[in-house]
Structure 1
Amino acid sequence: MSRLDGRAAIVTGAGRGIGAATAKRLAREGAKVGVFDLKEEFCRDTVQAIQADGGEAVGIGCDVADAQQVERAVAEVAAQFGRVDILVNNAGVLRDNLLFKMSEDDWDTVMNIHLKGSFLCSRAAQKYMVQQKYGKIVNTSSTSALGNRGQANYSAAKAGLQGFTRTLAIELGPFNINVNAVAPGFIVTDMTRQTAERVGVDFAENQKLAAGRIPLRRVGQPEDIANVVAFLASDDASYVSGQVIYVNGGSR
């Protein structure tokens, strides 16, 4: 029996990168997965990969910053799978720039997707979790929460998610709902590729330089984050709540 048999999960931003790896890992653990991304077609590869591996998944287009779309999408998962047990708030974007160059749209876009999106999805999902007296919410923060040049918007959003995580753990704990966060370091994704391109560095060279600064001497892969999320989404983590777990190869 797998750890998540009988559970229904939602993973936002699951069309690629960490979200896709997480959706696939939860499915391998036995969960039925609602794969959310901005457009339904963005979900297709992840859903097909899960189904090819014998799992069950549905792809749903959803702008996580739109309350009506979020309510509809979460209700669709509940209707199809009969419940909502796990929510992974992973959707995110980059709009990097130095403060004096950063536009209001750069700021608002990042805040809306990361922070407002996590708020809206958590608010929608907790209704089912509270009724069930069971649930797991995992938010995706970042080591950038500690500050990173050119990422005032992203760093603020990711730091905000840590306070959001701890607050939800307090509010939802009495209903047997665990709320935690993972804070990835350097992970090889399209987003880190974009960061390298922004500063004019070859991505392969960027990974090599990053690995040299990491105690484990390697950069992370999306599966490294998915593995930790799978633990937090399982009953193995039933007494873990309000925590932020840095998954960064030992970096400070």
Structure 2
Amino acid sequence: MALAGRIAVVTGASRGIGKGIALQLGEAGATVYVTGRKPESSDNTSKGLSGLQETAKEITERGGKGIAVYVDHGDMEAVRELFEQIDRENNGQLDILVNNAYQAVTAIMESSGIPFYEQDPYFWDTVNNVGLRNHYFCSVYGAKLMVKQRSGLIVNISSAGGLKYFFNVAYGVGKQALDRLAADTAVELKKDNITVVSIWPGPVKTELVKSYQEGNARNDITSEMFSRGESTEYAGKAVVALAKDSKRLNKTGKILITEDLGSEYGFKDIDGSTPGNLRSVSWIIEFFGWKKTASLIPSWVKLPGWVMWAGTSRL
């Protein structure tokens, strides 16, 4: 219960990575505000507990305190009200903010292969209103509380999609902007002892990914990577490890890969496995289909971060 007494908020925690992070924070003893959209009356979950309420309930069962707050993260007034509630109910205390809310997974899957100029330009809003603009607003409101107490941790859940073209234009631009949001807010918040980082999970076995794979019966390399990917709680273990680290400010402004954090802090996934690393040479080679070659390279052989950035050829 290393995080007992800490106040955290995880946006977009009804399912997927957000839920996994919230559960791990709860298991460590934190009080966790979890957010998500209110289900429609026609939604099956409305007959019992909603996904968000289930998350809050399980947080409490694991030893923390789960508080479900329905928030439409496309509505910035609702976002402001969320942080006012946290301020009011906790005497201004906020220790951990995880910017995770995202609404474009299905839209991205369905638009695969369609050039940006053949899509409605409002597709940008579908991808980046909740996935980027909201994170900025949450960072503003969260930082206001953390600055007063001169401590805190802000985590942006991002991806390697900001490194090189992936999925579509709006996705990649949004992810790189999210990483830059962490880097630049870190500059201004470091003097107040507030750590801001981007975390890149590897392929994650979320409910939506599993459903999409089953519905499309795909058996390509990408599908195989996801099927052997991280659980939704592995990133949660990474966030907990950072929250416990008294020297985490040394990492502020950086992009952190979940498996690198697992190696550094000594944690494994919930099934005892060690997921692949985005910098692992064998993982990269296998991703491109060369399984035999990959099997000959030890998993600990990794590309330095600067090599990954150099490979983008932006200079």
Q: Normalising by the residue count of structure 2, what TM-score does the alignment of the two structures yield?
A: 0.71
Q: Which residue matches 2:100?
A: 90
Give yes or no for the alignment of 1:52 onto 2:61. yes
Gaps of 5+ in 2: 40-49, 260-275, 280-315
State how 1:60-79 maps to structure 2 within 5 Å: 60-79=69-88
Shift of the 39–193 alpha-carbon distance from structure 1 to 2, 3 Å rule, reads same
CA shift for structure 1 position 148 = 4.3
Kept in 1: contact 2:150–2:193 (CA 8 A): yes
Match of 1:210 among 201, 206, 225: 225
Distance 1:193 1:143 in 2: 20
Shift of the 42–105 alpha-carbon distance from structure 1 to 2, 3 Å rule, reads farther
Distance 1:184 1:67 in 2: 27
Give yes or no for the alignment of 1:110 onto 2:134. no
SS in 2 for 1:239: helix
Deviations 1:157-182 (A, max 9, x none): 11111111000100111111100010
Q: Which residue matches 1:188?
A: 205
Distance 2:226 2:206 in 1: 15
Give yes or no for the alignment of 1:230 onto 2:236. no
Higher relative contact order (CA 8 A, sep 6+): 1
Identity, in percent, stands at 31
Give yes or no for the alignment of 1:245 onto 2:256. yes
Superposed CA RMSD: 2.3
Amino acid at match of 2:75: D
Distance 2:32 2:218 in 1: 32
SS in 2 for 1:60: strand
Q: Normalising by the residue count of structure 1, what TM-score does the alignment of the two structures yield?
A: 0.87
CA shift for structure 1 position 240 = 1.9
Q: Which residue matches 1:215?
A: none
SS in 1 for 2:4: coil
Gaps of 5+ in 1: 213-217
Q: Which residue matches 1:81?
A: 90
CA shift for structure 1 position 117 = 0.8
Distance 1:26 1:108 in 2: 30
Q: Which residue matches 2:12?
A: 13
State how 1:26-45 maps to structure 2 within 5 Å: 26-39=25-38, 41-45=50-54
CA shift for structure 1 position 185 = 2.2
